[in-house]
Amino acid sequence: MRTRITLALAVLLLLLAGCSPGGSADGPVTLRFQSLAWQPDSVAATKELVREWNATHPDVKVEYVQGSWDSVHDQLLTSFEGGEAPDVIHDASDDLADFAYGGYLADLSGLLPARLASDIPRGSWETATFGRGVYGVPFLQEPRVLIADADRLRAAKVRIPTPGHPWSWAEFRQVAKKLTGPGRYGVAWPLREPVSATLNLSLSAGGRLFHRGADGKVTVRFEAGDEVVARTIHDQVAVDRSAPASTLGSGGADTLPGLFGGRYAMVPLGFSYRQQIVRQAPEGFHWQVLPAPAGAGGLTQGVSPQTLSVSADCPHKKEAVAFIDFLLRPRNMVRLALGDWMLPTGTQALKDPALHTERHGWATGTALAARLRPAPAQSVRGYPEWKDKVATPAYQRYYSGASTLAELRHRLERDGNLVLARYQR
């Protein structure tokens, strides 16, 4: 009997000894990572990093789950409420506020490794900070630039702007008029989603739109700095006819055939669109990247970085943060940035020579990195509803010439503040 008991105890001790701190008696920890990577190079880079992690971390396995930017907010909300959220969540910082305040995301303040916390600038951390907590790690950011037909600009003999000597908004308007002719436009504005583009570019002119009072509550005030970009777009479409009204409801990719075909000389696009241009541009088409126009605030513009967050319900938060730290090591962050044709937030990654080459406009984009600021709507509760129900239709009507600047201001302020007030009681 004593022999059988001793044998049983020995077997039990062996089983217990086989359980590592990061695993369990049933096997390794499994983390579900929902990625929103969609461009081929980006998907490939992300999946390769997941494979590298899994090959070197037998106790913590990561399962790649493909998500979509088109439906991520509603999909995450449904999964949070149903208790089925991914452990590691890829999103954008301007989508985090409601999830953070709603208790769906883990506060990462006490979990972040010192290396990662110090490598990303404070301004980037502010995009994912709500109240006193940090609810995401900002890792990729995308300035808005002008993609231009280099031959059209050269033929028109216009001054080519640089980050050191950009166009003003007034000069940009004049250049667009000079580039306009029969059947050809100086610029095309793809503004199916007009709000973020307008608000982020308006920082260059001193626009803020959202104002936080001493009580912490946010109100909308459409002031002089907020008018500059909005009025420029409106006047190019409705007054100068240097921009077609037909692209106002289009996405960025929809304007590329017109750019390649000579219909548009310039298109304001996110920096990552360069990948599509490289893949789709016909032979002989010469293009270049120009900085967006500058106002009283210089080249400052708002960005909503891509972020990695951890679900509040994740039972393995330390392991999830360790995986995020691995993904965002400087070398890996560069791989993700090159794959997505965007800029990394990390200071060490930004120094990589691959991001400073003139080829495909990398150097122009990298020169803008120091001027990127948190998007005006970053910490505003109720922003998604305000954007969808108030701001998007208001800007669309104004840009098409169907309403006046005064009517735009009235709608944004009166209707917008009614929406925001429901989230700030």
Q: Give the pLDDT score at 155.
A: 97
Start-to-end CA distance of the chain, whole Å, equals 70
Query: What does the pLDDT look like over 189-239, one tens digit per residue?
Result: 999 999 999 999 999 999 999 999 988 899 999 999 999 999 999 999 999
Which residues are bridge partners to 23 per DSSP? 28
Residue 68: Cβ within 10 Å count: 10
Cα–Cα distance measured from residue 371 to residue 143, given in angstroms and rounded to the nearest whole number:
9
Q: Do 2-141+304-374 and 144-303+377-422 show the same overall fold?
A: yes
**Residue 316: its pLDDT value, please?**
97
Is residue 292 within 8 A of residue 144, CB to CB? The reply is: yes
Q: What topology does CATH give the domain 144-303+377-422?
A: D-Maltodextrin-Binding Protein; domain 2 (3.40.190)
Show me where the domains of the chain are located: 2-141+304-374, 144-303+377-422
Residue type, 168: S
Is the Cβ–Cβ distance between 45 and 327 less than 8 Å? no
Q: What pLDDT was estimated at residue 15?
A: 38
Please tell me whether residue 271 adopts helix, strand or coil conformation: helix
Average pLDDT of the residues of the chain: 92
Amino acid at 353: P
Please identify every stretch of the chain with a pLDDT value under 70, giving residue numbers as ranges: 1-26
**Domain 2-141+304-374: assigned CATH number:** 3.40.190.10
pLDDT at 9: 40
Q: Which helix (H) or strand (E) holds 27?
A: strand 27-35
DSSP 348-398: HHHT-GGGS-SGGGHHHHHHTGGGEEE-TTTT-TTHHHIIIIIIHHHHHHH
